[in-house]
Amino acid sequence: MTRFLVVLTDVRPVEGKVRDERTAPERRRQVVGANTREAADRIAGAFMALGMVRAGRQRVKVIAVGRGRHAGLDK
């Protein structure tokens, strides 16, 4: 089963030409788990209504985690 994380992060200023989330991830403000993509999209929609997101100071990310049909890992 694929689970989803909805992550609200601060947008960091551009310090260089490369933004690498693995070496320097953005600061997380909120992380919420969801069991379905539809639930994750509803949560993300609620986060996108926040003033800081609308002003471009924070961003919302939906990340698929775990195994599932959509990842092509079922055997």
Would the pTM of this model clear 0.85, i.e. be above it?
A: no
Which secondary structure element, helix H or strand E, spans residue 65, and what is its range? strand 58-66
> How many CA atoms within 13 Å lie on the side-chain side of 25?
8
The structural domains of the chain, with segments of one domain joined by +, span 2-13+24-71
Which pLDDT belongs to residue 69? 55
> Strands (DSSP E) along 21-57, which ranges?
28-34
pLDDT tens, position by position, 52-73: 999 999 999 999 998 665 545 4
Which pLDDT belongs to residue 74? 43
